[in-house]
Chain A
Amino acid sequence: GENVEQHPSTLSVQEGDSAVIKCTYSDSASNYFPWYKQELGKRPQLIIDIRSNVGEKKDQRIAVTLNKTAKHFSLHITETQPEDSAVYFCAASKGGSYIPTFGRGTSLIVHP
């Protein structure tokens, strides 16, 4: 089955810095890669996703890049703010009836 590795497990940055979280996947048939943000005590919520026919996608301060050949994808957050502090999960899925496989999460801490 699919295996998703996520690094780092903890990331500490100063407000205004950029943050990058990286994930690798094992199944070349995976074609959908969502990222979820889970604030303390709250539910995971989708923040951005990318499909395998696209190399990069941006939404304001967040962007995701995908390298299908190397089977890795990354989340980039620019101009970080304290409210970006949360646990971020990447996932990989083959779509359809397949269940996404999640990474173990990255705890991002943004210091004011």
Chain B
Amino acid sequence: KAGVTQTPRYLIKTRGQQVTLSCSPISGHRSVSWYQQTPGQGLQFLFEYFSETQRNKGNFPGRFSGRQFSNSRSEMNVSTLELGDSALYLCASISTATSRRETQYFGPGTRLLVL
């Protein structure tokens, strides 16, 4: 099976702009989670989508939003970008197989730089 894919891999934006990131999960995985990774802060959970519905949400401002499509692909949007939004954004999909249902399979990430 193909792994989790994310596009684009790199992105440069300026303050005030908005950005949309895309994530395609492993075939058959219905849950997609998004994380923000910055040096020293580890993996900060943004939100999780399951069957096109947001199931869990982290402590990020409303500028961060997402959605999931019927094919389980997910998008994340950040509006009114701030310098502090510069980070690696990772998405992860979760296996639906009983024995591995908690394992998160990560994509390669999108590195966002806000100038």
Contact = CB atoms under 8 A, between A and B. Distances in A.
Interface of A: 6, 9, 32, 34, 36, 42-46, 49, 89, 93, 95-105
Given A45-B106, A46-B103, A95-B102, A102 B55 contact: no
Interface stretch (B11-19, B38-46, B61-69, B71-79): B38-46
A4 to B, nearest CB: 9
B25 interface: no
Please name the 8 residue pairs, one residue from A and one from B, whose CB atoms are nearest each other, closest first.
Answer: A104-B42, A43-B106, A102-B43, A32-B102, A44-B106, A99-B56, A105-B42, A43-B108
A103 B42 contact: yes
A89 B109 CA distance: 16
Given A104-B40, A105-B42, A97 B106 contact: no
Given A97-B50, A105-B42, A44 B103 contact: no
**Residue with the greatest number of chain B CB neighbours at <10 A, chosen from A6, A44, A99:** A99
